């Protein structure tokens, strides 16, 4: 019997774990490589060569993908949901609607386990637990057995919302092998994912700098406006809980994440970074909203200071789900090009840089502290830029963006008028 080979190159595996979940002999485990990225390993003593794992690979056996039928700018009209969300709270509104009707929701969380924050997918069935899944997590979450849990919920007749990166949604669909009327899939606009180990090393190093142990971490906090502002809750040496709010770009982890230097190998050739989407709905930040709509009055409910989501409706299932909670949103019809102009991953994957290998090799050999030293030594201009930006009032930054949008619109109108005269 020939051995099963799941992939020939690491770029052909996204680490979703669908193969592990589907194996009838439990012959597959997800194992970390030298820098913490997870890949499936097959126990050949248990494997019977059935090939079910190959068929369940959503990354290589891509399920049906569709272009968006409609596009919206959106924000929750519930201030509490909006405040706890990274952008406009679109996920929270959709999830709350499912939970209040007796359904269940799956998504990425950062629970504290054995003294470490563990990026993993969780199942929740109460509105009270919704904050666990809110907010952006810029790290790969472990799927664990949530595909199997979701299938059981679906077979039990429960309404299921499953959110994740596009490759995680593709993995779920290949695992399930069929469509379910009671399933709503939500994919996010994903740049790429660092490894859990790299993230935990960052948390350990940052905790030491703060003089304690980090117990909660928020990649996107809104206390200083909309953007990459981190908030850490930590326990100091005396056992007291404290908080630290910091511009994310002042840390090596967030800076290198934003530059696409620390992702999985497959992220740089991702087939899901495309106009065609794998989920029923696609959610993300509507970056550049006020540049695209410079005359929009924030009193109407959409504010870059509080966050604006983009919602791409890709299937009838997604359309119905949005209609069911439309009254809980401030919605404005938009179009794909306006969203994609500020979200490159809607038409192409993140660009690979040789600095990826340099940084990850440094991490492998000398640890995260060496990566942090490298960042502070070689990126002083970026650090200064982030520092100055953090000093500007929130309102001023929004007004600058609005003004830039108006200037851009005026220039475009002028160009059109010139062409018309010709």
Strand order across the 120-124 sheet: 120-124, 104-109, 160-164, 183-188, 281-285, 309-313, 70-76, 329-333
205-224: burial string, b at 16+ Cβ within 10 Å, e else: bbbeebebbbbebbbbbbee
CA-to-CA dists, residue 217 to 62, 105, 199, 242, angstroms: 33, 21, 11, 12
Q: pTM of the predicted model, to two decimals?
A: 0.91
10-55 CATH pick, 3.40.50.2000, 3.40.190.170, 3.30.70.20, 3.40.50.2300: 3.30.70.20
Tens of pLDDT, residue by residue, the chain (422 residues): 457 889 999 999 999 999 999 999 999 999 999 999 999 999 999 999 999 999 999 998 888 899 999 999 999 999 889 988 999 999 999 999 999 999 999 999 999 999 999 999 999 999 999 999 999 999 999 999 999 999 999 999 999 999 999 999 999 999 999 999 999 999 999 999 999 999 999 999 999 999 999 999 999 998 777 778 999 999 999 999 999 999 999 999 999 999 999 999 999 999 999 999 999 999 999 999 999 999 999 989 898 788 999 999 999 999 999 999 999 999 999 999 999 999 999 999 999 999 999 999 999 999 999 999 999 999 999 999 989 877 765 554 555 555 555 555 455 444 444 443 33
Query: 3-state SS of the chain: helix, strand, coil percent to 5?
Result: 40, 20, 40
**Taking every pair of C-alpha atoms in the chain, what is the biggest distance, in angstroms?**
77
Q: What is the dihedral of CA 12, 18, 19, 21, to 10 degrees?
A: 160
CA distance 293 to 406: 8
Report domain extents, the chain: 10-55, 70-193+263-346, 196-258+354-391
């Amino acid at each position: 019997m020939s051995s099963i080979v799941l992939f020939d190159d690491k770029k052909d595996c996204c680490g979703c774990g669908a193969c592990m979940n589907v194996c009838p002999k439990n012959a597959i485990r997800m194992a970390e490589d030298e820098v913490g990225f997870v890949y499936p390993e097959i126990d050949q003593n248990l494997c019977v060569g059935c090939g079910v794992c190959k068929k369940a690979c959503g990354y290589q056996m891509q399920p049906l993908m569709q272009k968006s039928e409609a596009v919206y700018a959106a924000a929750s009209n519930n201030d509490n949901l909006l405040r706890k969300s990274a952008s406009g709270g679109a996920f929270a509104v959709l999830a709350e609607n499912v939970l209040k009707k007796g359904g269940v929701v799956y998504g990425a969380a950062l629970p504290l386990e054995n003294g470490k924050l563990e990026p993993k997918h969780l199942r929740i069935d109460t509105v009270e637990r919704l904050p666990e899944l809110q907010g952006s997590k810029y790290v790969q979450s472990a799927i664990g057995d949530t595909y199997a849990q979701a299938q059981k919920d679906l077979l039990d007749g429960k309404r299921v919302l499953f959110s994740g990166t596009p490759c995680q949604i593709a993995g779920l669909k290949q695992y399930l092998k069929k469509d379910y009327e009671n399933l709503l899939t939500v994919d996010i606009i994903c740049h790429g994912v660092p490894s859990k180990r790299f993230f935990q090393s960052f948390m350990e190093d940052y905790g030491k700098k703060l003089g304690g142990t980090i117990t909660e971490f928020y990649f996107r906090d809104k206390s200083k406006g909309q953007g990459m502002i981190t908030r850490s809750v930590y326990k100091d040496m005396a056992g007291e809980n404290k908080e630290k709010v910091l511009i994310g770009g002042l840390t090596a982890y967030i800076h290198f994440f934003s530059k696409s230097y620390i992702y999985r190998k497959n992220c740089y050739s991702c087939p899901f970074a495309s106009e065609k989407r794998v989920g029923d709905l696609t959610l993300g930040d509507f970056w550049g909203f006020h540049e695209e709509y410079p005359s929009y009055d924030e009193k109407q409910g959409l504010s870059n200071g509080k966050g604006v989501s983009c919602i791409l409706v890709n299937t009838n299932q997604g359309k119905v789900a949005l209609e069911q909670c439309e009254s809980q949103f401030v919605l404005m019809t938009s179009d794909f090009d306006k969203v994609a102009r500020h979200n490159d991953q809607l038409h192409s994957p993140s660009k690979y840089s040789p600095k990826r290998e340099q940084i990850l090799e440094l991490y492998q050999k000398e640890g995260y502290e060496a990566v942090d030293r490298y960042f502070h030594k070689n990126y002083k201009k970026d650090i200064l830029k982030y520092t100055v930006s953090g000093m500007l009032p929130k309102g001023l930054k929004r007004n600058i963006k609005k003004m830039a949008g108006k200037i851009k619109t005026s220039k475009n109108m002028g160009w059109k008028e010139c062409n018309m005269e010709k």
